[in-house]
Amino acid sequence: MSKTIKYHVRNPDIVFREEFDDWAILFDPDTGNVFGLNPTGALAWKMLDGTTSVKEIAEAMMRLFSNVPEEAPAEIMQFIDELVERGYVGQDVTTP
Partner 1 sequence: MSEKIYCGRGTAARGDPVSTDSETRRYPLYQLYFYLTDECNLACRHCWIAPKYQNATKATSFLPIDLFVSIIREAQPLGLMTVKLTGGEPLLHPQFAEMVDIVKREGLKLVLETNGTLMASEIAEAIASCKNTFVSVSLDGTDATTHEWVRGVPGSYDTACAGVRHLADAGLRPQVIMTVMRRNRDQIGEMVRLAEWLGAGSVKFNLLQPTSRGKQMHHSGEALEIRELIALGQWVERDLAPTTTLNLIYDHPPAFRPLSRMFGDHGDGCSVCGIFSILGVLSDGSYALCGIGESLSEMIFGHARTDRLVDIWEHTPMLGEIRGGLPEKLEGVCGRCLMKGRCLGSCLAQNYYRSGDLWEPYWFCEEAERAGIFPETRKVGRGAGAEEHLGTLVSEPPS
Min CB(96)–partner 1 separation in Å: 30
Residues 36-55 that bind partner 1 (CB under 8 A): 36-38, 40-41, 45-46
Question: How many chain residues bind partner 1 (CB under 8 A)?
Answer: 32
Query: Please, which contacts does 40-48 make with residues 24 or more away whose CB atoms are closer than 8 Å?
Result: 40/65, 41/79, 42/16, 42/18, 44/76, 44/79, 44/80, 45/10, 45/16, 45/83, 46/16, 48/8, 48/9, 48/10, 48/80, 48/83, 48/89
Segment contacting partner 1 (CB under 8 A): 29-37, 50-58, 60-68?
Answer: 29-37
Min CB(70)–partner 1 separation in Å: 14
Residues 57-76 that bind partner 1 (CB under 8 A): 75
Min CB(17)–partner 1 separation in Å: 4
Residue type, 93: V
Residues that bind partner 1 (CB under 8 A): 10, 12-21, 23-27, 29, 31-38, 40-41, 45-46, 75, 79, 82
